[in-house]
Structure 1
Amino acid sequence: MEAKLLSRNTKATTGKPVIGVFAPCDPRIDQASRERSTNIIKHAASQLAGKIQLPDGNQAEVVYSDILIDAEAQADQVAKQFKEVGVNILVCVPDTWSFPQLTTLSLLSHFPQDIPINFTTGNSGTRPGVVYTHATSGAIAQYGKLTHINVGKWPDVGQNPEMSADTVEALVDWCYAAATFQGLKGKRVVVFGHDSMGMETALPHVLETRNQFGLEVTRLDMKLLADMLKKESYDKDELKRLRKWLNGHAGERIELPDSAKDSELLDQSLALYLIVRDLMKEIDAVGGGFMSQLEWGSDDRGIQLPVADIMESLFNSSFDHNGPKPVVPFATEADVQALLTQLFMTWLSGGNPPLFMDFRKAWDKEDAKALAEQNDYVIKGHEKWLEKGFVDGVNSGSASFNWAAKPGTGEKEIMSKISFPKAVDYFYYLGNSVHFVSPGEIKGVAARLAYSSLSGMFSMIWDEAETISLPEAMTKEVCEGANPTWPHTFVVPKYATMMEYKQYAPANHFHMTWDLKPARLQFWMDFANVLSVTPWHKRPQFIEGEDRPLPLLYLLNGGEDATKKLKAGKR
Structure 2
Amino acid sequence: MKAKLLSRTVKPNTGKPVIGVFAPCDPRIDQASRERSTNIVQHAAEELAGKIKLPDGTAAEVVYSDVLIDAEAQADQVARQFKEAGVNVLVCVPDTWSFPQLTTISLLSHFPKDIPINFTTGNSGTRPGVVYTHATSGAIAQYGKLTHINVGKWPDSGQNPTMSPETLKALIDWCYAAVTFQGLKGKRVVVFGHDSMGMETALPHVLETRNQFGLEITRLDMKLLADMLKKESYEKEELKRLRSWLENHSADRIELPDGEKDSELLDQSLALYLIVRDLMKEVDAVGGGFMSQLEWGSDDRGIQLPVADIMESLFNSTFDHNGPKAVQPFATEADVQALLTQLFMTWLSGGNPPLFMDFRKVWDKEDISEFAAQNGYQPKGDEAWMKKGFVDGVNSGSASFNWAAMPEADENEVMKNISFPKAVDYFYYLGNSVHFKSPGNIKGLAARLAYSSLSGMFSMIWDEAETVALPDELAQKICDGANPTWPHTFVVPKYASMTEYKQYAPANHFHMTWGLEPARMQFWMDFANVLSVAPWQARPTFIEGTDRPIPLLYLVNGGEDVTKKMKAGKV
TM-score by length of 1: 0.99
Q: Which amino acid aligns with 2:341?
A: T
Where in structure 2 are the equivalents of 1:45-444 lying within 5 Å?
Answer: 45-444=45-444
Q: Which amino acid aligns with 1:396?
A: S
1:239/1:267 contact within 8 Å kept = yes
**Cα displacement string for residues 50-106 of structure 1 (whole angstroms, at most 9, x for unaligned residues):** 000000110000000000000000000000000001000000000000000000000
Q: Distance in 1 between matches of 2:121 and 2:368?
A: 49
1:422/1:428 contact within 8 Å kept = no
2:253/2:420 contact within 8 Å kept = yes
Root mean square deviation of aligned Cα = 0.8
Where in structure 2 are the equivalents of 1:529-540 lying within 5 Å?
Answer: 529-540=529-540
**Cα displacement string for residues 446-470 of structure 1 (whole angstroms, at most 9, x for unaligned residues):** 0000000000000000000000000
Q: Distance in 1 between matches of 2:103 and 2:8?
A: 37
1:437/1:488 contact within 8 Å kept = yes
- 1:9 maps to 9
Q: Distance in 1 between matches of 2:81 and 2:117?
A: 17
Q: Distance in 2 between matches of 1:336 and 1:511?
A: 13
Q: Distance in 2 between matches of 1:393 and 1:244?
A: 30
Q: Which amino acid aligns with 1:538?
A: A
Q: Distance in 2 between matches of 1:108 and 1:144?
A: 13
Q: Which amino acid aligns with 2:59?
A: Q
Q: Which amino acid aligns with 1:262?
A: D
- 1:485 maps to 485
Q: Distance in 2 between matches of 1:284 and 1:405?
A: 30
Q: Which amino acid aligns with 1:324?
A: P
Report deviation, 1:568: 0.5
- 2:25 maps to 25
Structure 2 residue matching 1:177: 3-state secondary structure: helix
Report deviation, 1:378: 3.7
Report deviation, 1:379: 3.1
- 2:521 maps to 521
Q: Distance in 1 between matches of 2:335 and 2:311?
A: 16
Structure 2 residue matching 1:101: 3-state secondary structure: coil
**Cα displacement string for residues 298-354 of structure 1 (whole angstroms, at most 9, x for unaligned residues):** 111111000000000000000000000000000000000000000000000000000
Q: Distance in 1 between matches of 2:32 and 2:373?
A: 72
**Cα displacement string for residues 173-225 of structure 1 (whole angstroms, at most 9, x for unaligned residues):** 00000000000000000000011110000000000000000000000000000
Report deviation, 1:252: 1.7
Structure 2 residue matching 1:521: 3-state secondary structure: helix
Q: After TM superposition, where is structure 1 displaced by more than 4 Å over at least 4 residues in a row? A: none
TM-score by length of 2: 0.99
Q: Which amino acid aligns with 1:424?
A: V
Q: Distance in 2 between matches of 1:66 and 1:570?
A: 42
Structure 2 residue matching 1:435: 3-state secondary structure: coil
Instruction: Identify if the C-alpha distance between structure 1 residues 480 and 271 changes in structure 2 by more than 3 Å, giving closer, same or farther.
Output: same
Structure 2, unaligned stretches of length 5 or more? Answer: none
Q: Which amino acid aligns with 2:99?
A: F
Report deviation, 1:40: 0.3
Report deviation, 1:381: 4.2
Q: Distance in 1 between matches of 2:333 and 2:450?
A: 16
1:422/1:432 contact within 8 Å kept = yes
Q: Distance in 2 between matches of 1:182 and 1:264?
A: 44
Structure 1, unaligned stretches of length 5 or more? Answer: none
Greater mean deviation of Cα atoms: 363-372 or 110-119:
363-372
**Cα displacement string for residues 93-135 of structure 1 (whole angstroms, at most 9, x for unaligned residues):** 0000000000000000000000000000000000100000000
Q: Distance in 2 between matches of 1:462 and 1:177?
A: 16
Q: Distance in 2 between matches of 1:90 and 1:376?
A: 60
Q: Distance in 1 between matches of 2:416 and 2:264?
A: 23
Q: Distance in 2 between matches of 1:302 and 1:231?
A: 18
Q: Distance in 1 between matches of 2:550 and 2:242?
A: 49
Structure 2 residue matching 1:312: 3-state secondary structure: helix
Report deviation, 1:13: 1.1
Structure 2 residue matching 1:372: 3-state secondary structure: helix
Structure 2 residue matching 1:473: 3-state secondary structure: helix
**Cα displacement string for residues 258-282 of structure 1 (whole angstroms, at most 9, x for unaligned residues):** 0110000000000000000000000
Q: Which amino acid aligns with 2:510?
A: F
Report deviation, 1:570: 7.2
Report deviation, 1:410: 0.8
Q: Distance in 1 between matches of 2:82 and 2:380?
A: 59
Report deviation, 1:372: 2.2
Report deviation, 1:375: 3.1
**Cα displacement string for residues 234-266 of structure 1 (whole angstroms, at most 9, x for unaligned residues):** 000000000000011001210000011000000
- 2:464 maps to 464
- 1:545 maps to 545
Q: Distance in 2 between matches of 1:8 and 1:506?
A: 46
Structure 1 residue matching 2:568: 3-state secondary structure: helix
Q: Distance in 2 between matches of 1:322 and 1:496?
A: 41
